[in-house]
């Protein structure tokens, strides 16, 4: 293992984060607070409670997931796309670095960053509503797993993208809708039964459901299903990465 | 054992361009070898293949005895690359970017060494500046500093002086000179044949993806280089005198001089006899001058053939 190379990439990516502190940390936090005010205070005053949980508290896990998933994808995809765009990828290709080490560097940094953002949102939320986390260890573990998996997904998107449009396309057309329709702001049973069925095909719903379970000990779908979905999703991303690595696809002529 | 050995290397791009065609080349440790050839000859492609920037179709590359594909960790660690184009992260400082490269090559930060490199390339004062604030010449220096950050044993310079000012060019050759004296092997490509002539120990000529020849610079010049003796007279001569007709002489356009071509490696150049015969005519000498054809002349001739 070329640990110094992993550290170099990680350090570079984290430096990029802190260079753009406003854009990368403060802005997701502000938008979360806005969601909180709009959904929690405005709409929540009409809904009161879901499954016995105060609505303002109910949306916290979904809000964290929403931001964390989008941030993971955005960070990792930009992280690896930029060296391709600038040509500085020549260094990654000519250095004694394996593809795995490059992934650990970029995905590690992207995941770290979104984990920090997730924690900031959690702390910010707890200023608005009292939160009692039922399974704190699971909560942290799930957060970490999702940060990593979605950073992997972002890394894949960054490698496959040929231009900035493509880079934004997948997050905009696929991930954002999946996250919004994955039950961030409502319980599955609040939907008409047809949409309930449709939502069962949304992988993000499982992630949010189990994350909410870690908070409040209630879930839309059986926890086991959620774990299975998380596993399948991670394995899929890893397989794609492995294939890109094997073929050198889009990295080497 | 050569430090780089390339055998039967071929590469065509997906658009069908045959960029390298059965290339065989050995580079000796400690030498400076210049890859010359017209635009599109395959020089950059060859360097990229050695450094791991692209996949090749067939053939084999060994660096220090190790295969560059299966044992890439061993081979790449020895290599520093300065690509043809400037490619840098604009929002990073000069120091950070060379520390990054050193890290990528598997070494911990070494402030003294990195600052030393920056000093040699007149970058030390700019070490805390962001790359985007630097001029083009300075950026090129940064590219070189990056390549040197892990003290490579082999340095690739792909057209290092294309569009570079005189000062940087001089600094660059100073750096190259001092690296050579430390035993670093240097592979460079250049358009400026005078540079190859000045710096290189050996010259490889590429054209259309093929190596036309690889040869020691001196022996190349000697073998290929014709010498010319220009004999100036005090007054013009209308035609070559009868007494000199057995020599291969050309009359200059202004008719003031005769030009004698000879092979300077031949045991007898014929100069002594020629001068004696000239003395027997009534021509009065004004001046003598010899000149040797440059590598450029040689290559233009070779590529035309
Ligand atoms: N990525 C690429 N895709 C297609 N053709 C390429 C690519 N890179 C180089 N070539 C072609 O390969 C040939 C050799 O190019 P190159 O190695 O850059 O030449 P040189 O460095 O000697 O000028 C040229 O015909 C060039 O157009
Ligand atoms: Mg070139």
Residues A93, B146: C-beta atoms closer than 8 Å: no
Same domain, B38 and B88: yes
User: Residue B285's domain spans which residues?
Assistant: 225-294
Same domain, B62 and B210: yes
pLDDT in tens, A163-198: 999 998 888 888 888 888 888 888 878 888 888 888
Complex ipTM more than 0.85, yes or no: yes
Pairing of strands B32-36, B185-189: parallel
pLDDT for res B304: 72
Query: How many separate domains does chain B show?
Result: 2
**Binned average pLDDT, 10 residues per bin, chain B of 305 residues:** 95 92 95 92 95 93 95 96 95 96 96 95 95 93 96 95 82 90 94 80 92 86 77 88 85 89 78 88 88 74 71
Cα–Cα dist B165/B135, whole Å: 11
Residues A86, B87: C-beta atoms closer than 8 Å: yes
- The dihedrals phi and psi of A140, each to the nearest 5 degrees, come to -65, -45
Same domain, B164 and B108: yes
Residue A232: CB atoms within 10 Å? 12
Chain A residue numbers touching B76 (CB-CB < 8 A): 94-96
Strand, coil or helix: what is B39?
A: coil
CA distance B188 to chain A (A): 17
pLDDT for res A44: 64
Asked if residue B153 belongs to a domain, the reply is: yes
pLDDT for res B116: 95
Q: Rounded to a whole number, what is the largest CA-CA distance in chain A?
A: 60
The single-letter DSSP state of residue A53 is E
**Would the CA dihedral through B257, B259, B265, B266 be positive or negative?**
negative
Cα–Cα dist B60/B56, whole Å: 9
pTM of the model: 0.86
Residues B72, A96: C-beta atoms closer than 8 Å: yes
CA atoms within 13 A on the CB side of A37: 6
Cα–Cα dist A245/B158, whole Å: 27
Domain boundary among B198, B222, B246: B222
Chain A residue numbers touching B103 (CB-CB < 8 A): 4-5, 7-8, 11
Same domain, B218 and B128: yes
Do B86 and A90 meet the contact criterion of CB atoms below 8 Å apart? no
Mutual angle of helices A55-86 and A203-216, in 10-degree steps: 130
Do B31 and B187 meet the contact criterion of CB atoms below 8 Å apart? no
Asked if residue B175 belongs to a domain, the reply is: yes
Q: What stretches in chain A show pLDDT beneath 70?
A: 40, 42-45, 47
CA distance B58 to chain A (A): 14
pLDDT for res B44: 95
Q: What is the whole-number distance in angstroms between the Cα of residue B141 and the centre of ligand 2?
A: 19
């Amino acid at each position: 293992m070329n640990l110094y190379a992993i550290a170099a990439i990680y350090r570079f990516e984290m430096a990029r984060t802190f260079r753009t502190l406003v854009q990368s940390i403060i802005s997701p936090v502000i938008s979360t607070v806005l969601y909180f005010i709009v959904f929690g205070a405005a709409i929540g005053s009409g809904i009161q409670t879901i499954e016995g949980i105060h609505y303002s508290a109910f949306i916290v896990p979904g809000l964290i997931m929403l931001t964390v998933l989008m941030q993971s994808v955005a960070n990792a995809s930009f992280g690896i796309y930029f060296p391709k765009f600038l040509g500085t990828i020549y260094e990654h290709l000519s250095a004694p670095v394996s593809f795995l080490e490059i992934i650990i560097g970029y995905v590690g940094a992207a995941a770290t960053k979104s984990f920090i953002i997730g924690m900031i949102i959690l702390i910010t939320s707890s200023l608005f509503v009292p939160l009692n986390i039922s399974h704190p260890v699971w909560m942290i573990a799930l957060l970490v797993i999702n940060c990593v998996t979605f950073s992997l997904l972002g890394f894949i998107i960054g490698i496959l993208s040929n231009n900035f449009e493509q880079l934004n396309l997948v997050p905009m057309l696929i991930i954002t809708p999946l996250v919004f329709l994955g039950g961030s702001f409502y319980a599955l049973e609040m939907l008409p039964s047809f949409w309930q069925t449709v939502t069962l095909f949304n992988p993000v719903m499982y992630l949010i459901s189990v994350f909410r379970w870690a908070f409040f000990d209630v879930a839309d779908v059986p926890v086991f299903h959620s774990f299975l979905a998380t596993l399948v999703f991670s394995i899929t991303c890893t397989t794609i990465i492995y294939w890109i690595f094997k073929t050198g696809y889009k990295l080497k002529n | 054992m050569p430090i780089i050995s390339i055998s039967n290397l071929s590469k065509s791009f997906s658009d069908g361009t045959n960029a390298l065609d059965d290339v065989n080349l050995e580079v000796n440790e400690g030498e400076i070898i210049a890859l010359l050839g017209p635009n599109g000859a395959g020089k950059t492609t060859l360097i990229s293949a050695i450094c791991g920037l692209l996949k090749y179709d067939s053939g084999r590359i060994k660096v220090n005895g190790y295969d560059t594909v299966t044992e890439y960790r061993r081979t790449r660690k020895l290599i520093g690359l300065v690509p043809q184009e400037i490619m840098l992260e604009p929002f990073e400082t000069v120091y950070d970017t060379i520390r990054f490269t050193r890290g990528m090559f598997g070494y911990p930060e070494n402030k003294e060494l990195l600052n030393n490199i920056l000093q040699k390339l007149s970058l030390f004062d700019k070490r805390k500046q962001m790359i985007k604030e630097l001029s083009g010449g300075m950026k090129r220096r940064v590219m070189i500093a990056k390549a040197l950050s892990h003290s490579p044993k082999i340095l690739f310079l792909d057209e290092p002086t294309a569009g570079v000012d005189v000062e940087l060019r001089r600094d660059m050759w100073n750096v190259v000179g001092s690296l050579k004296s430390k035993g670093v092997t240097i592979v460079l490509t250049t358009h400026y044949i005078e540079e190859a002539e000045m710096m290189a120990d050996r010259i490889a000529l590429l054209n259309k993806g093929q190596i036309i020849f690889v040869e020691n610079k001196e022996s190349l010049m000697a073998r290929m280089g014709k010498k010319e003796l220009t004999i100036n007279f005090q007054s013009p001569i209308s035609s070559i005198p009868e007494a000199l007709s057995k020599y291969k002489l050309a009359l200059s356009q202004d008719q003031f001089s005769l030009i004698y071509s000879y092979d300077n490696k031949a045991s007898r150049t014929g100069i002594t006899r020629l001068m004696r015969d000239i003395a027997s005519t009534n021509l009065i000498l004004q001046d003598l001058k010899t000149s040797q054809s440059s590598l450029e002349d040689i290559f233009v001739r070779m590529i035309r053939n």
